[in-house]
Structure 1
């Protein structure tokens, strides 16, 4: 890095990553509080956290960056876009402008956390101040520890400790005037190719990325789904989920904002307090996942419980392909996988059902499902994705036991009793009445004919018998038990 004379009026760099908002942004507040020109920078760096974002996430990032740039422009600011290695691009901007400080909200995945520390150490050695803050979580990993000084591995005591000690920061709106920074070269986001082309598979993505979209989603949830959140979130045909997960992942809204808005609604009698706290607990589960990944960085790649590395997974490529395409013959599973492909999102309850089917009915390694979700979910989050897949697999921290095997037919009948969800995403079965909808292979031939359904032609027969698959899965579990030394 070349040496450039710096003065007290030298600009500072505000380095955006997964904090794409102006409100409740601690790094932004501190950068503008210096009273010096602020250079707002985003670097497209695939190595930022050790794993490149999936295609659906890049679609979201494209729209979120455009929204952030527009918000900055409304306040007289400008978003500088660069692509490449983060440290290289930071140094290049420092050389071009004489900036002598970098403000950022920290990444807490182990690899990103270490990279941040390495960059800060290198820049500080050359006289560039580096300041990092927590803009992503209720509290930074490492601050919620058990009585032995180690990380919690069970959720309930973690949540209790988290809520007892975490203090909400003051709500901030960001400075009104963000002008004053010198104009330097910036990439054109159109040249980054984040939006899919040839083909554009995102036509069904009904989302509004960006801070305004996040605020709207939260308001809509408070006014609707939160009132019956405990039960409504289990029924995929109802608007019971918050749909905040992609906004939270990209930092378009602070998790504290979501928590406090829900609690304020309860305090003013707009929603039951128990429902608000159920939602807070779900934010806490996200927090638990992030803290676990920070302490156990192999979570996305290796079983948290080592004995599960001995599990005898099957190489079932045909089954895996049928699962990804929503052609398993189990309507609730296929509806979920088609919803995912079409919208970039899947209902929470259905995520558990499709994950259980892949892992336990097909005995396909959970890591393959995790990778598919990573590429196709707009809310793909390294910590949550890994933790949730391992939860279903029984190999994670505080996980559901492996012998808890969802029956996809019973799950469909219980949580989609009206059939509205299946009929929307598996339209070839619309003509079947509720009695046969979740198990069309059991319907009499005359019922299938009347509904215009030809099994094996219009809709596949089940690719596996669930009863037999369950027995096979429980037999496979004995390998794990043997490696663990269980009787």
Structure 2
């Protein structure tokens, strides 16, 4: 007779501590089988077979598996289409309930519905929990129930709700003895899923009290390297967002906490407006006649535009999978406004390269710099790539690190004149927005 079990399905929550869905699974009377699925529908879309994010996920699974082995358990790791994996699992085990945590991206919601429909046929329950944000979906909305489209009032309402409700933690780490005891779980190697270890490592995060307290003064200067590198770890759930919010809220400076609120703001925007992954939030901006010059896009990607701060950011991205946030705004604005290249092309390139790529934030921030999103920078705000150096890298330390050739004869001349580009952008945007 097959053993009755619950399943916990890890996705964007690769940790054993303070994991909401895992806590609820382990709190029941039945043993829990932890699983992870390398989804072939996601992996086949990746441009490289040594994608550092896949290496990072696999490494984190190994770490978790090693810890679970001390309880005589482990994580079953599969590769394939999730519904096929659950068909296989339902043949092997008498599954009572599948537990997991919410995912708000359009593909994930469609996938989860497919899994839920399959499990219903098998009389298996499917329970999901809020874990990657403090407030989700329509928990922070206007009095009339509609979504906030501007960050500042959203953040005020978020902070009010946080102060009123506080934070509940879920000590899943105390219940790991409830995991299924077995030594027969499949644990696939990277090679078995068709990938190779990446030479680019995901940076570890640092969220010290000192970093949080000084964040407002230091965050805009890329040479200081004083950002937390937390984004990737929030993206894959290797750290608890509740613990990060709790820590940030204890500082006299609110700036770091506000960055975490921006993340939740963009997540609720994506949930309310899933069409924004492809369409501009402001429809009139989809009338812009983008130039989309292929050679100029290539030079932007390579970091050879002839504007040192833009090039430094792109080279940092290509070599490390990270780019400083201040520089992200500049390179995004430069692509859309100086080169008149569609924000969707930049968004796709960042999605391919950034370790901390998160669909909601990536789309939200690209639409912000292009002027077409919620709470966006007005279209006539065009970052000057020369004065940005004077403001944020006046000693040229960041530029010298990533563009050591910037003073050499071989360094390219600027791809476009700033004044000309600005006038061209204003004219093109104005025509589209006014429907001329």
Q: Distance in 2 between matches of 1:255 and 1:50?
A: 29
Match of 2:97 among 89, 101, 124: 101
Q: Give the SS at the match of 1:374.
A: helix
Matches within 5 A, 1:229-308: 229-264=215-250, 266=251, 273=252, 275=253, 277-308=254-285
Match of 2:25 among 21, 31, 42: 31
Q: Give the SS at the match of 2:100.
A: strand
Contact 1:360–1:469 (CA under 8 A) maintained in structure 2: yes
Q: Distance in 2 between matches of 1:141 and 1:49?
A: 27
Aligned to 2:434: 482
Contact 2:137–2:271 (CA under 8 A) maintained in structure 1: yes
Match of 1:358 among 328, 335, 344: 335
Q: 1:478 to 1:158 in 2, by over 3 A?
A: same
Match of 1:345 among 297, 322, 334: 322
Q: Distance in 1 between matches of 2:71 and 2:144?
A: 48
Report the Cα offset of residue 48 of structure 1. Answer: 6.3
Q: Show CA shifts across 1:30-54 (max 9, x none).
A: 1111232211110111446997698
Q: Give the SS at the match of 2:223.
A: coil
Q: Distance in 2 between matches of 1:177 and 1:96?
A: 22
Q: Give the SS at the match of 2:224.
A: coil
Structure 1 or 2, whichever has the larger Rg, is 1
Q: Distance in 1 between matches of 2:127 and 2:146?
A: 26
Q: 1:232 to 1:292 in 2, by over 3 A?
A: same
Q: Show CA shifts across 1:141-180 (max 9, x none).
A: 1222212211111111111222222431125251252553
Q: 1:53 to 1:15 in 2, by over 3 A?
A: farther
Q: 1:105 to 1:351 in 2, by over 3 A?
A: same
Contact 2:280–2:367 (CA under 8 A) maintained in structure 1: yes
Q: Give the SS at the match of 1:100.
A: strand
Contact 1:94–1:100 (CA under 8 A) maintained in structure 2: no
Q: Give the SS at the match of 1:139.
A: coil
Report the Cα offset of residue 412 of structure 1. Answer: 1.1
Q: 1:328 to 1:82 in 2, by over 3 A?
A: same
Q: Show CA shifts across 1:408-463 (max 9, x none).
A: 1110111011111011111124xxxxxxxxxx6xxxxxxxxxxxx21xx2x11111
Contact 1:56–1:375 (CA under 8 A) maintained in structure 2: no
Q: 1:49 to 1:305 in 2, by over 3 A?
A: farther
Matches within 5 A, 1:301-340: 301-340=278-317
Aligned to 1:180: 180
Q: Show CA shifts across 1:314-358 (max 9, x none).
A: 021111111111111111011100100111000000000100111
Contact 1:50–1:112 (CA under 8 A) maintained in structure 2: no
Q: Distance in 1 between matches of 2:149 and 2:40?
A: 30
Report the Cα offset of residue 62 of structure 1. Answer: 2.7
Matches within 5 A, 1:54-203: 55-166=51-162, 167=165, 168-174=167-173, 175-177=175-177, 179-190=179-190, 191-195=192-196, 202-203=199-200
Contact 1:32–1:38 (CA under 8 A) maintained in structure 2: yes
Q: Distance in 2 between matches of 1:179 and 1:255?
A: 24
Aligned to 1:222: 208
Contact 2:130–2:136 (CA under 8 A) maintained in structure 1: yes
Q: Show CA shifts across 1:361-410 (max 9, x none).
A: 10000000000000000001111100000000000011111111000111
Q: 1:352 to 1:419 in 2, by over 3 A?
A: same
Q: Distance in 2 between matches of 1:64 and 1:314?
A: 42
Contact 1:11–1:99 (CA under 8 A) maintained in structure 2: yes
Q: 1:179 to 1:14 in 2, by over 3 A?
A: closer
Runs of 4+ with deviation above 3 angstroms: 46-56, 178-185, 193-196
Q: 1:298 to 1:46 in 2, by over 3 A?
A: farther
Alignment root-mean-square deviation, CA: 2.2
Q: Distance in 2 between matches of 1:63 and 1:315?
A: 38
Contact 1:61–1:194 (CA under 8 A) maintained in structure 2: no
Q: 1:114 to 1:284 in 2, by over 3 A?
A: same
- Number of residue pairs the alignment of both structures matches: 429
Q: 1:470 to 1:154 in 2, by over 3 A?
A: same
Q: 1:53 to 1:69 in 2, by over 3 A?
A: farther
Match of 2:12 among 9, 18, 24: 18
TM-score under structure 1 normalisation?
A: 0.83
Q: Does 1:397 align with 2:374?
A: yes
Between stretches 111-120 and 393-402, larger displacement belongs to 111-120
Q: Distance in 1 between matches of 2:16 and 2:258?
A: 26
TM-score under structure 2 normalisation?
A: 0.93
Contact 1:56–1:377 (CA under 8 A) maintained in structure 2: no
